[in-house]
Amino acid sequence: MAVFTFAVFFQPLAQTFGWSKSAIAFGATIISIMIMLVTPLQGFLVSRFSPRRMILLSIPCFAAGLASMYFLTPNIWHFYLAWIVIPILGFGVWPVSYMKITGEWFDRRLGLAYGVVNSGIGVGAALLPWLVGQITAAYGWREAYLGLGFLALLVWPVAFFLVEERAAASPAGARAETVAAATLGEALRSRAFWIIIAAFALLGVLSATVLVHQINILVDAGMSRQAATSLQSVLGIALIVARLGAGWLLDRIKASYVMATFALGASLASALYALGLGAQLALPCTILFGLVIGAEFDVLSYIIPRYQGRRVFGQVYGIVFSVFQLASAISVYATSLVREHYGSYAPALWVITAAMIGCAGLLLLLGPYRFAPTELRLAKPLPSDPPAERAADPA
């Protein structure tokens, strides 16, 4: 809701307040910085406390923050302050909370489970830009922010009735995971951890930049703004396909091979945009971008328990996600500056092309999984487990 609709508000805000595109784009940079700051703390807390409670507390606060954009003033600092506060209000609803809960329930089909859960983001990416555009055209951008706040609030009863933590229902399973998991210190000292950090930093260069700037890139290439905006929904559909498809593939093919393939596809799309072929090849390029953006958090959620174990999932996810967001924040704003200085997005797009090639190369350096699916379950129950728990626990 905060990120995938950001680009749709570019034109209305510029027309209403006279702000430059780079000034508006800095708001997206602030979002990335705030997520970068919030996520490591969130990851630390979900590893120790209830992610479900964090979700239920955060949803109404996040909804109120989005709706408050209705009262936005011509002062650009009001806009920036809002994007500092809203990510804090949404403290519990960033992906690590949901990924932590999902990871407690699945093992052999862990990739597909993450794909199904993450596909919700793809649904939002497909529908929300269109919906915001329709509300803005009919009523105005202020009412569109009110609509986003209302939609966010509707998620609360879904979370209340359907989100359940396995740890509370299956302490035997929770103890079994602890036996297999690495410590945070071991994770930080491992070669795989630093490869993952570097690869996802490079992925961050692509993701937010495409989400925020693709419409303007295509307009520069000669496409109408309406047609370029409609491609944001195509991007969302590609995200859904990527999340489900990548999840299915992760249970069958090594994660590094899956993500490297998608990254190389995105490098091709970025190169075609840089060559000025965006208007002619917008649809296949958007699909290629959607595949890599859709797969990245499936892959991140999957490789952490495979290389670092599940006990430190929250902390490791938070660290990697924060680095990803830092790279996104820098890239989004730098891309705006490149456009203003050179009159073209091409130099930034060539950097993105190189980043995706580098990301693919790094991922291929990852070795075999440290914790394969069968290793994450004990061969026999813990001696301290009561008989009833032993019979019921699939581990």
| Per-residue pLDDT tens digits for 340-384 | 888 888 899 999 999 999 999 999 998 888 877 654 443 344 343
Q: Residue 155 domain-assigned? A: yes
Assess contact for 289 and 264: CB atoms under 8 A. Answer: no
Q: Residue 302 domain-assigned? A: yes
Mean pLDDT of 217-240: 81
At residue 253 the predicted structure's pLDDT band, cuts being 50, 70 and 90, is confident
Please report the pLDDT score of residue 84 as a whole number. 93
Mean pLDDT of 212-234: 82
Q: Residue 350 domain-assigned? A: yes
What amino acid is encoded at 96 in this protein? V
Mean pLDDT of 301-319: 81
pLDDT in tens, 176-189: 444 445 677 777 88
Please report the pLDDT score of residue 68 as a whole number. 94
Q: Residue 393 domain-assigned? A: no
Percentage above 90 pLDDT, the chain: 26
- Please check the confidence at residue 387 and state whether its pLDDT lies above 70: no
Please report the pLDDT score of residue 365 as a whole number. 92
Q: Residue 134 domain-assigned? A: yes
Of 378, 206, 218, 166, the residue nearest 293 (C-alpha)? 206
Q: Give CA–CA dist 208/324, Å, rounded.
A: 10
Q: Give CA–CA dist 211/60, Å, rounded.
A: 25
Supply the range of the domain harboring residue 132: 6-161+181-367
- Return the CATH number at 270: 1.20.1250.20
Measured in residues, the chain has a length of: 395
Question: Two tokens at 124?
Answer: 């939002």
Assess contact for 2 and 58: CB atoms under 8 A. Answer: no
Question: Two tokens at 384?
Answer: 């301290």
Q: Give CA–CA dist 76/21, Å, rounded.
A: 12
Q: Is the dihedral of CA 239, 244, 247, 252 positive or negative?
A: negative
Residue that has been written with the tokens 């950090």 in this structure: 197
Assess contact for 312 and 181: CB atoms under 8 A. Answer: yes
Q: Compute CA 30 distance to the chain's CA centroid, rounded to the nearest angstrom.
A: 16
Neighbouring residues of 173: CB distance < 8 A, sequence distance ≥ 6: 104, 166, 167, 393, 394, 395
Assess contact for 101 and 53: CB atoms under 8 A. Answer: no
Percentage above 70 pLDDT, the chain: 90
Q: Give the number of domains in the chain.
A: 1
Q: Residue 168 domain-assigned? A: no
Count of beta carbons in the 10 Å neighbourhood of residue 89: 19
Average pLDDT, the chain: 82
Q: Give CA–CA dist 278/19, Å, rounded.
A: 26
Assess contact for 121 and 239: CB atoms under 8 A. Answer: yes
Please report the pLDDT score of residue 374 as a whole number. 56
pLDDT in tens, 124-175: 777 888 888 889 989 999 999 999 999 999 999 999 998 888 754 444 444 4
DSSP string, 22-85: HHHHHHHHHHHHHHHHHHHHHHHHHTTS-HHHHHHHHHHHHHHHHHGGGG--S-HHHHHHHHHH
Q: Residue 379 domain-assigned? A: no
CA torsion, ordered 221, 227, 232, 237, to nearest 10 deg: -120
Q: Residue 373 domain-assigned? A: no
Please report the pLDDT score of residue 392 as a whole number. 41
At residue 65 the predicted structure's pLDDT band, cuts being 50, 70 and 90, is very high
